């Protein structure tokens, strides 16, 4: 979706890109040495300059430093030493819109959870390269992307921004996104380090969890992504973990990140997450969006401290070197990128490909889908399907140039100032238009769904009724339960009663419950599908695209199945976007209940059946897997098997391999997955290396894999497993660095 001007520019830029590198930025061969050399020439004022980030727009009466572009933030550079300013924009779905303040939009990719549902790291890397290139075209050299918090709380208002619930899957997918972004010489973050499981009360919630649980889940996702993609930066989170705030946690930022993992880039705070100067000593390198905090701690106060206290002086040098390391390692260049309003000309194609691969066919009975070609009347109902597809709210919101197609105020007092952030918005191609384009002679009618009776009347005489149902999520607020809000459950039930051939298209940020499930033959989960989502949905409905998305999170049957059926704090906190709570207020939440057994791992232990399991996703064809062979008896373990398309249509499947028991104890962990596109009757041989830490327990500061029988099973999803194959493994340990193997 580009203006003609942007299209012309993008086309010429794309042509240039094909012929030559986009810019002269270059990664240094030895970034640490270069960082040390440049840092040594700096004054303390210059070092401090690199540790303090500002909002990029006028805020609280303070104008941003010179050179800011409307976006998330800016850190002034040191031109005399060829150190560029850091111009930062959000986020994982593209270069954000900031209410149109820049005057242009950008390619809006599907949301993080949709990206996770593709189970296709190559595609996500392509998306990363696309949004990285657009960041550069728009004048930014830092993209605040790579959201990989695991879904511990299904009602988290930012579930849509993250990849899923499994550490291996989120780690690989996050790594792919970062690699793509940084291939464009743009620094990417991984965020939010760590856990950040809830939005309501996020500034004062305290996650209580033991170290092994943390290491084997949320931290493992970050560890895997960092090792594979070397992100230039990490963003610490708003929440506390076992007491300290994440951005002031020595355990997270120094013990784990530096001492154990040897991370070399820099840690920036989330916006408004810094409470004191001594966060610097805990390991924080950069205060971001500092106007949002109580003080500009990493400016004057840090400078003064460094000049009087050797501990601060040493840290200041290190903090500056960490920032410089990222600049040289990612090779962002000496100058800030020139600002244009161009987009990458591949934007629509990548957004479409991602949206298509993200759609999950949850249910399909009696051949309800794909739609028959001979329908005479199709009733399309609800979900603003006549306008566009939903986007999540908050800092990650991306809009194409033309802006929102529909906007619904969410009417919370303070929200009016942040309407561009918080309002419900719909964007891109309208599903109704894309359906009409494919419907041939059929009459396509639309009802907005406000009145179930009216919708039921429209559905009654139709060959098929397609109901679009949405759940809105936004940063800052959790959803209180897993229902479809408003009257949508009643709407679906009424339409299904009027017309048994009712297809539900869910556009949600995460799991919802489906009281009407038995009454409808087919359900698609399309998530927040980005600017081309309408096209992708129609193409799946009409069978041009064979769905291949799989659930990256479990869909519980009810909130009773969640580890904490009552959302922690729901009865204590007044939902509020900017709410910092009272001084000293905390909200303790016990995340030791599930420990490291998030989502499907928890269901495997309890024996409960979710509504739809992690990994679930149907196709218009059938797949079979066989001949699972395991090789190895220690850390170098691998698996081989065949995946076959046994149906009549070309399609892609995600083969999944799970550990299902260790030493006779039930323990489920995803240890590998592979997506393969296959013609009917064709098969592919799949080989997976099994990451040994996925088999391990964290004990006494290292990973321990006890000797014994380990059983693995191929699965179409976490709940539909084949006959397990066992292998005997000899005991081994892996040091906290993730590499050194011992006894």
Is residue 155 part of the contact set for ligand BGC (CB under 6 A)? no
Q: How far is the CB of 450 from ligand BGC (least distance, A)?
A: 33
Q: How far is the CB of 122 from ligand BGC (least distance, A)?
A: 25
Our CB check for ligand BGC shows the closer of 191 and 447 to be 191
Give the length of the chain: 743
Q: How many residues bind ligand BGC (CB under 6 A)?
A: 8
CA torsion sign for 461, 462, 463, 465 is negative
Is residue 247 part of the contact set for ligand BGC (CB under 6 A)? no
Q: Which residues partner with 367 through β-bridges?
A: none
Is residue 478 part of the contact set for ligand BGC (CB under 6 A)? no
Is residue 271 part of the contact set for ligand BGC (CB under 6 A)? yes
Residues 119-148 that bind ligand BGC (CB under 6 A): 144
Quick check: helix, strand or coil at residue 581?
A: coil
Q: Torsion-angle region of residue 370: left (phi > 0), alpha (psi -120 to 50) or beta?
A: beta
Q: How far is the CB of 237 from ligand BGC (least distance, A)?
A: 8
Q: Which residues partner with 655 through β-bridges?
A: 674
Q: How far is the CB of 184 from ligand BGC (least distance, A)?
A: 18
Q: How far is the CB of 229 from ligand BGC (least distance, A)?
A: 18
Structure tokens at 423: 């309002």
For residues 219 and 174, is the Cβ–Cβ distance under 8 A?
A: no
Q: How far is the CB of 87 from ligand BGC (least distance, A)?
A: 13
Q: How far is the CB of 240 from ligand BGC (least distance, A)?
A: 15
Is residue 191 part of the contact set for ligand BGC (CB under 6 A)? yes
Distance of alpha carbon 614 from its chain centroid, rounded? 16
Residues 498-517 that bind ligand BGC (CB under 6 A): none
Residues 52-81 that bind ligand BGC (CB under 6 A): 72
Q: How far is the CB of 621 from ligand BGC (least distance, A)?
A: 39
Is residue 152 part of the contact set for ligand BGC (CB under 6 A)? no
Letter string b/e over residues 700-718, b meaning 16 or more CB atoms within 10 A of that residue's CB = eebbebbeeebbbbbbbbb
Our CB check for ligand BGC shows the closer of 239 and 427 to be 239
Q: Which residues partner with 665 through β-bridges?
A: 662
As to burial, measured by CB atoms within 10 angstroms (0-12 exposed, 13-18 middle, 19+ buried), residue 413 is exposed
Q: How far is the CB of 55 from ligand BGC (least distance, A)?
A: 9
Instruction: Name which of 728, 667, 659, 724 is nearest 688 in CA terms.
Output: 659
Our CB check for ligand BGC shows the closer of 239 and 548 to be 239
Q: How far is the CB of 157 from ligand BGC (least distance, A)?
A: 11
Quick check: helix, strand or coil at residue 141?
A: coil
Choice from 199, 270, 423, 507 touching ligand BGC (CB under 6 A): 270
Our CB check for ligand BGC shows the closer of 90 and 345 to be 90
**Direct distance between the N- and C-terminal alpha carbons of the chain, in angstroms, rounded to an integer:** 57
Is residue 177 part of the contact set for ligand BGC (CB under 6 A)? no
Q: How far apart are CA 68 and CA 75, in angstroms?
A: 9
Structure tokens at 293: 């905090």
Give residues with Cβ within 8 angstroms of 150, minimum separation 6.
Answer: 162, 164, 165, 166, 167, 170, 217, 218, 221, 598
For residues 178 and 126, is the Cβ–Cβ distance under 8 A?
A: no
Our CB check for ligand BGC shows the closer of 268 and 630 to be 268
Give 259's DSSP letter: I
Is residue 395 part of the contact set for ligand BGC (CB under 6 A)? yes
Q: How far is the CB of 475 from ligand BGC (least distance, A)?
A: 6
For residues 206 and 156, is the Cβ–Cβ distance under 8 A?
A: no
Is residue 90 part of the contact set for ligand BGC (CB under 6 A)? yes
Q: Which DSSP string do the residues of 327-363 spell out, in sequence order?
A: HHHHT--SSPPPP-----TTHHHHHHHHHHHH-EEEE
Q: How far is the CB of 671 from ligand BGC (least distance, A)?
A: 30
Q: How far is the CB of 579 from ligand BGC (least distance, A)?
A: 13
Give residues with Cβ within 8 angstroms of 740, minimum separation 6.
Answer: 734
Q: How far is the CB of 397 from ligand BGC (least distance, A)?
A: 10
Is residue 179 part of the contact set for ligand BGC (CB under 6 A)? no
For residues 652 and 678, is the Cβ–Cβ distance under 8 A?
A: yes
Our CB check for ligand BGC shows the closer of 418 and 703 to be 418
Our CB check for ligand BGC shows the closer of 289 and 556 to be 289
Q: How far is the CB of 53 from ligand BGC (least distance, A)?
A: 10
Instruction: Name which of 472, 461, 532 is nearest 501 in CA terms.
Output: 461
Q: How far apart are CA 161 and CA 475, in angstroms?
A: 9
Residues 217-246 that bind ligand BGC (CB under 6 A): none
Structure tokens at 729: 């493994």
- Counting DSSP H helices and E strands in the chain, the numbers are 19, 31
Our CB check for ligand BGC shows the closer of 99 and 592 to be 99
Our CB check for ligand BGC shows the closer of 267 and 662 to be 267
Q: How far apart are CA 412 and CA 262, in angstroms?
A: 44
Q: Which DSSP string do the residues of 512-576 spell out, in sequence order?
A: ---TTGGG-SEEEE--S--TTHHHHHHHHHTTSS------SS-B-SSGGGSSSSSPTTTTT----
Q: Which DSSP string do the residues of 451-496 spell out, in sequence order?
A: -HHHHHHHHHTSSEEEEEEE---BTTB--SSSSPTTTHHHHHHHHH
Instruction: Name which of 719, 723, 693 is nearest 628 in CA terms.
Output: 723
The residue written with tokens 């660095």 in the block is 737
Our CB check for ligand BGC shows the closer of 223 and 270 to be 270
Our CB check for ligand BGC shows the closer of 398 and 504 to be 398
Q: How far is the CB of 93 from ligand BGC (least distance, A)?
A: 12
Which stretches of the chain bind ligand BGC, using CB under 6 A? 72, 90-91, 144, 191, 270-271, 395
């Amino acid at each position: 979706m580009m203006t003609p001007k942007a299209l012309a520019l993008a086309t010429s830029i794309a042509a240039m890109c094909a012929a030559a590198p986009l810019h002269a930025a270059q990664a240094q061969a030895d970034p640490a040495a270069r960082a040390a050399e440049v840092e040594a020439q700096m004054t303390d004022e210059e070092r401090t300059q690199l540790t303090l980030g500002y909002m990029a727009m006028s805020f609280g009466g303070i104008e941003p430093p010179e050179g800011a572009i409307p976006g998330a933030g800016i850190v002034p550079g040191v031109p005399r030493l060829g150190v560029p300013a850091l111009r930062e924009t959000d986020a994982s779905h593209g270069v954000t819109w900031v209410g149109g303040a820049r005057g242009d939009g950008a390619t809006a990719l599907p949301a993080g959870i949709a990206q996770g549902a593709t189970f296709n790291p190559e595609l996500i890397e392509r998306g990363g390269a696309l949004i990285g290139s657009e960041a550069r075209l728009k004048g930014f050299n830092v993209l605040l992307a790579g959201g990989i918090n695991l879904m511990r709380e299904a009602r988290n208002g930012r579930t849509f921004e993250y990849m899923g619930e499994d550490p291996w899957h989120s780690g690989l997918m996050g790594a792919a996104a970062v690699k793509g972004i940084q291939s464009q010489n743009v620094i990417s973050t991984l965020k939010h380090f760590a856990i950040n499981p809830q939005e309501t009360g996020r500034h004062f919630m305290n996650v209580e969890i033991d170290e092994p649980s943390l290491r084997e889940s949320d931290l493992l996702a970050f560890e895997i992504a960092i090792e594979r993609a070397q992100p230039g930066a990490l963003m610490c989170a708003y929440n506390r973990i076992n007491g300290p705030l994440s951005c002031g946690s020595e355990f997270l930022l120094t013990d784990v990140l530096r001492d154990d993992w040897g991370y070399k880039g820099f840690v920036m705070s989330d916006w408004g997450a810094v409470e004191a100067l001594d966060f610097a000593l805990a390991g924080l390198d950069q205060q971001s969006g500092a106007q949002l905090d109580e003080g500009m701690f990493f400016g004057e106060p840090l400078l003064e401290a460094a000049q009087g206290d050797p501990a601060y002086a040493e840290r200041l040098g290190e903090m500056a070197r960490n920032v410089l390391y990222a600049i040289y390692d990612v090779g962002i260049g000496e100058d800030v990128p020139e600002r244009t309003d161009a987009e990458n000309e591949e934007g629509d194609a990548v957004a479409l490909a991602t949206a298509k691969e993200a759609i999950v066919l949850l249910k399909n009975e009696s051949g309800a889908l794909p739609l028959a070609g001979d329908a005479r009347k199709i009733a399309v109902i609800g979900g603003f399907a006549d306008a566009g597809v939903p986007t999540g709210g908050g800092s990650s919101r991306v809009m194409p140039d033309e802006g929102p197609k529909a906007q619904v105020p969410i009417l919370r007092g303070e929200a009016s100032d942040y309407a561009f952030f918080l309002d419900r918005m719909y964007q891109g191609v309208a599903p109704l238009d894309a359906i009409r384009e494919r419907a041939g002679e059929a009459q396509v009618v639309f009802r907005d769904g406000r009145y179930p009776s009216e919708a039921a009347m429209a559905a009654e005489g139709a060959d098929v009724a397609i109901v679009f149902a949405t759940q809105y999520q936004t940063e800052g607020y959790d959803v209180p339960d897993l229902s479809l809000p408003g009257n949508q459950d009643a709407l679906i039930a009424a339409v299904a009663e009027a017309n048994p051939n009712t297809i539900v298209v869910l556009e949600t940020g995460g799991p919802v419950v489906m009281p009407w499930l038995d009454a409808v033959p087919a359900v698609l989960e399309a998530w927040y599908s980005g600017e081309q989502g309408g096209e992708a949905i129609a193409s799946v409905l009409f069978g041009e695209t064979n769905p291949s998305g799989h659930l990256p999170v479990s869909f519980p049957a009810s909130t009773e199945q969640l580890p904490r059926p009552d959302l922690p704090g729901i009865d204590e906190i007044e939902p509020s976007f900017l709410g910092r709570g009272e001084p000293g207020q905390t909200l303790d939440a016990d995340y030791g209940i599930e420990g490291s057994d998030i989502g499907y791992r928890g269901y495997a232990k309890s024996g409960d059946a979710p509504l739809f399991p992690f990994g679930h996703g149907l196709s218009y064809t059938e797949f079979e897997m066989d001949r699972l062979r395991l090789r190895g008896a220690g850390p170098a373990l691998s698996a081989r098997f065949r995946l076959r398309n046994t149906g009549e249509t070309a399609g892609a499947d995600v083969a999944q391999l799970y550990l299902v028991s260790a030493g006779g104890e039930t323990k489920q962990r995803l240890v590998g997955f592979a997506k393969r596109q296959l013609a009917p009757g064709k098969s592919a041989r799949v080989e997976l290396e099994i990451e040994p830490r996925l088999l391990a327990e964290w004990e006494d500061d290292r990973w321990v894999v006890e000797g014994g029988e380990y059983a693995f099973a191929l699965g179409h999803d976490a709940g539909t497993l084949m006959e397990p194959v066992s292998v005997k493994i000899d005991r081994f340990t892996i040091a906290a660095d993730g590499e050194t193997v011992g006894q």
